[in-house]
Structure formats: structure tokens, C-alpha cells
A = this chain, B = another copy of it.
Amino acid sequence: MIGELPNVQAGMEFSTRRLAHEAGVHRPLQAGICGTKKKGAESIVVSGGYKDDEDFGDVIVYTGHGGQDGRGNQVSNQTLDDTGNAALVTSCLEGLPVRVLRGAHDGSAYAPSDGYRYDGLYRVTSYGSKQGLDGFLIWQFRMEAYEGTPTPQVQPEEVIPAPGMLPVDHEADQQPAGNEQPGRVTSTVQRIVRSNAVKRKVKEWHDNRCQVCDLRIELLGGSYSEGAHIQALGSPHNGPDTTSNVLCLCPNCHVMFDAGAIVLKDDLTVVRAGKAKGPLRTHSKHTIDLDCVKAHRERWRG
């Protein structure tokens, strides 16, 4: 199960891994990452097993799995082929939430004083490799707390700067000074795609290949596409969240589709910048709701 569990709130404490396992928060008793490449990561444990970890409370730099001897020393390189690491890559590419369980240890001011604590949902916002403290290659995943995930109370002696919204001044025409050591506010370009089962299914049918331009973006560790609602959800559009109202698109075609630079005719011909460009690629199991196609097209008749 990905996401929040019905009966487990952030802040809930478990005296042992077994109790966290029984509550479904983190199912494995040994592994730090629960998940698979196909489904993404359900949960991770942050308990000081990797010396390269960093914990800022609402941001965690989490070291991937593998390459250790039995005493917590890195003795070989980590790879993205490792199941847990591949799961975290999938979570990043698909924008899936990951449950975080912190265990007591000395390396983090945010760790509980004993046992384990469920700390809510985080997203994987980036990942990369570097030479770890022990001299071998490690992979690290930047995890950021969701809005609504409370920052755990810090143990004494740590002060965390409060995040805030900086005003942007567009009046100045000179070159912006920028910031050599930016604070946390501007720390990420977030491409938050709220993945769900509906979009996942459409993307799976099309194997991440764009239905408009046929591109499949190949990344280390997987391929990437986006599920795009045809008739947008929410007021004033009010489209349904069903597979027949979702297309599998590359990010570029998604931007153009959402801004009306690409529309579809009722026969599913793709029209880009006013010119017919050939048929939308379809899939036998993926029916398209023509009412949604019409609603999207009429949104851009202005």
C-alpha cells in the first residue's frame, strides 16, 4: 500500500520494528526500503545505518541500499539495480508518496529518543550518486515532507531556519544577483505530478510513450511520461478522473495540450497550432471519452 494508512497518524510511536511491521507502516523487518521498481517505494526507515545520511527534519538526504559489510561500513559501490534503490527512483519519477519511519540514533536531531516513530509522507525530489565517506560510490535521494506532514520536534541544540515565501521583484531590469548559498525557499524546482491509479494504468498501457509525438523519454532506471487529463478536473472544467479522460503524454505535449496548443478532433486527429498532424496513437484497452475531447477543444475556441 502506497500512501497514508487509514489508522496510522504521523507522530505515532512504535517501540520495535516488529510493531511498525504489524501496523503496516514498514513491512520488512530488516531492509530499510520497502518497495519494488515496478510499484515504487512504500516506506523507508531512517535510523542511522548509513553515515552519509543527512536529516533536516522536513528534508532528508537518504542514502540508498547496498555495499555495506555487516558493521555499517561501505565496502563496495551501490547501484540503481538494487531493488530498494530502483523503488525510490520510481517514486521520484512517478511523484509517489513514501512513508518515513525514524528510528532512535545519534546522527539526527529529529530522531526519536527511543524506538521508532512514523513521521508521515515524503516525496523523492531528486537523486544522484557521489563518493561516500568510506570512499565508495553511493546513491542519495532527497526526500521532502509533503505539505501537511508535520516537521518532527527537534531535540535541543539545533536551530532550523523557518521557510518563507520571498517576494519576487520584477521591476529591476539589471541582471539578478542570485544567491551563492540559497536558503531552503528556492531549493527545488518541483514537478509535482500527483500520480494515481488512473494515470498509472494509462501510462502502463502506452508503456510511457507519448500518444501525440510517440516519444518515450528514457532515463537511467526507467522511462518517463505524464498522465494528462483531457477535460481538466475541478471547476470550471469539471472533467471525470477516469482512464477515458486521461492521455499518456511527454511533458512537452502535456504543456501544449493543457494550454490548448494541441487539441483533438472527434476522430482523434491531433491538431497542433491549428494544423492537422495525423491520428492520436491509441491502445485497444484505452477508450477515449469523446465528450471530454469536445469539452477540451471548446475550452480553447476563444
A243-B168 in contact given A190-B192, A302-B79 (Cβ < 8 Å): no
Nearest CB in chain B: distance from A236 CB, A: 5
Closest to A96 in B: B168
Q: Is A21 an interface residue (CB 8 A)?
A: no
For window 169-210 of chain A, which residues contact chain B by CB distance below 8 Å?
169-172, 175-176, 178-182, 184, 186-198, 200-201
Q: Is A260 an interface residue (CB 8 A)?
A: yes
A236-B180 in contact given A172-B197, A301-B137 (Cβ < 8 Å): no
A181-B61 in contact given A172-B197, A218-B261 (Cβ < 8 Å): no
CB of B192 within 8 A of CB of A192, answer: yes
CB of B226 within 8 A of CB of A189, answer: yes
> Which of B56, B139, B241 lies in contact with A179, CB distance below 8 A?
B241
Interface residues on A, range: 35 or more
CB of B169 within 8 A of CB of A197, answer: yes
Nearest CB in chain B: distance from A188 CB, A: 6
Q: Is A75 an interface residue (CB 8 A)?
A: no
Closest to A181 in B: B240
Q: Is A104 an interface residue (CB 8 A)?
A: no
> Which of B169, B195, B237 lies in contact with A128, CB distance below 8 A?
B237
Q: Is A37 an interface residue (CB 8 A)?
A: no
CB of A176 within 8 A of CB of B243, answer: yes
CB of B40 within 8 A of CB of A170, answer: yes
CA–CA, A235 to B181, complex, Å? 11
Residues of chain B lying within 8 A (CB to CB) of residue A187: 233-234
A259-B219 in contact given A59-B234, A178-B198, A197-B170 (Cβ < 8 Å): yes
Q: Is A133 an interface residue (CB 8 A)?
A: no
> Which of B140, B188, B191 lies in contact with A191, CB distance below 8 A?
B191
For window 48-72 of chain A, which residues contact chain B by CB distance below 8 Å?
54, 56, 59, 61
CB of A299 within 8 A of CB of B130, answer: yes
The listed residue with most B CB atoms (<10 A of its CB), out of A191, A221, A301, is: A191
CA–CA, A1 to B175, complex, Å? 17
A149-173 vs B, CB cutoff 8 Å, 1 = contact: the mask equals 0000000000000000111111110
Rank and list the top 4 A-B pairs by shortest CB-CB distance, nearest first: A178-B242, A129-B302, A128-B299, A251-B251
